[in-house]
């Protein structure tokens, strides 16, 4: 629980992902008034910090009133006692005193939490998990972030590093996980946007006459958004790739259903652009694997706030909403 910002006219919420950064000016009703984006991948640590500062300053300049605080959601294992980002899988952040550094650079009160915790706050406050006392929130993009709502509150663990749900192993001898994760067969390795690109590339090579195959032959990068676009256009190879990722995701959801008995599992992040092409096979796989009664009670749904959930949740924390 964070302290409320007294009489805040607006705050800035920032979602720092493995690929891009999104900052937004957010009012007390969680309405977004301005957005600023920056690329995050491929940057050195100092440049990444500079990009965060620049995005916040751009948003601050466009704010309709005084900015009282900034909330950051960052893809790090956090030590909430110190506001320090201990390690990140997909970004060059390790042992960074993020809260103190941003407070000094911006001259504003700063709240920092894991980006998926922020997404969970947004979805619990006004989104797809509203009204639920037990919820699992997954943000699926470059990697897979996880947020837990238990007994109506965000669960952060002993020091703030809990709910790394994307790094649950689902295949002991599976592919190497990415970035700084030392493991194999994590859910992130088989069900993230990165995994979707990898599997779609494989299918493009195996099915050269498909839309995916033609895209690869023309030199296009096989990314999650392209696969989703082709799948919505009816390309069978793209649909197959998304269904495979959905089934892999369903294995993870079955485990979460057994462990947490949630009322709802909310799926957000860039991959949710695939909609039911992803969710339907995920539900089917979960139903085959999870135990009763949890499997019969849990809902698996798309996030209301999509790719902006982390930014809006970070702002809500800055407003003292959670």
Where do the structural domains in the chain lie, given as residue ranges? 10-115+308-318, 128-303
Domains 10-115+308-318 and 128-303 share a fold: yes
Q: How far apart are CA 223 and CA 195, in angstroms?
A: 10
Q: How far, in Å, are 13, 25, 45 from residue 59 at the CA level?
A: 9, 6, 22
Q: What is the pLDDT of residues 279-322, one digit of tens each?
A: 999 999 999 999 999 999 999 999 999 888 899 999 999 998 44
Q: Distance between CA 272 and CA 193 in Å, rounded? A: 10
The CATH code of the domain at 128-303 is 3.30.420.40
10-residue mean pLDDT series, the chain (322 residues) = 50 88 91 89 84 93 91 84 76 83 93 92 94 96 94 91 93 91 95 96 97 97 95 97 98 98 95 96 98 96 91 92 42
Output the CATH code of domain 10-115+308-318: 3.30.420.40
Determine the pLDDT at residue 1: 39
Helical (H) or strand (E) element with 220: none
Q: Report how far residue 186's alpha carbon sits from residue 201's, in angstroms, rounded to the nearest whole number.
A: 20
How far is Cα 33 from Cα 92, in angstroms, rounded to an integer? 30
Query: What's the pLDDT at 203?
Result: 98
pLDDT attached to residue 40:
82
Q: What is the pLDDT of residues 87-104, one digit of tens each?
A: 777 777 778 888 999 999
């Amino acid at each position: 629980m964070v302290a409320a910002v007294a009489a805040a006219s607006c705050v800035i919420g920032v979602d720092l992902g493995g690929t891009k950064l999104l900052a937004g000016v957010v009012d007390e009703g969680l309405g977004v008034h301005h957005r600023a984006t920056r690329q995050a991948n491929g940057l050195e640590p100092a440049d990444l910090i500079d990009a965060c500062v620049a995005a916040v300053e751009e948003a601050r300049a466009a704010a309709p009133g005084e900015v009282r605080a900034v909330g950051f959601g960052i893809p790090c294992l956090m030590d909430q006692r110190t506001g320090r980002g201990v390690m990140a899988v997909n970004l060059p952040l390790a042992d960074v005193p993020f809260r103190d550094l941003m407070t000094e650079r911006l001259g504003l009160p700063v709240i920092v939490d894991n980006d998926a915790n922020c997404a969970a706050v947004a979805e619990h406050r006004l989104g797809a998990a509203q009204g639920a006392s037990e919820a699992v929130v997954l943000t699926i993009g470059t990697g897979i972030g996880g947020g837990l709502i238990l007994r109506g509150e965000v669960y952060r663990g002993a020091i703030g590093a809990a709910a790394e749900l994307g790094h649950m192993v689902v295949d002991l001898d599976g592919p190497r996980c990415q970035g700084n994760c030392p493991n194999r067969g994590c859910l992130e390795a088989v069900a993230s946007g990165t995994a979707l690109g990898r599997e779609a590339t494989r299918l493009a090579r195996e099915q050269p006459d498909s839309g995916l195959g033609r895209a690869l032959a023309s030199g296009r990068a096989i990314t999650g958004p392209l696969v989703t676009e082709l799948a919505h256009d009816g390309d069978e190879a793209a649909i197959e790739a998304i269904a495979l990722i959905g089934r892999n995701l369903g294995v993870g959801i079955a485990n979460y259903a057994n462990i947490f008995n949630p009322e709802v599992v909310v799926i957000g992040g860039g991959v949710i652009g695939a909609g039911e092409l992803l969710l339907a096979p995920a539900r089917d796989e979960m139903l085959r694997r999870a135990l009763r009664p949890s499997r019969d009670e849990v809902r698996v749904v798309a996030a209301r706030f999509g790719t902006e959930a982390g930014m809006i949740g970070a702002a809500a924390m800055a407003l003292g909403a959670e």
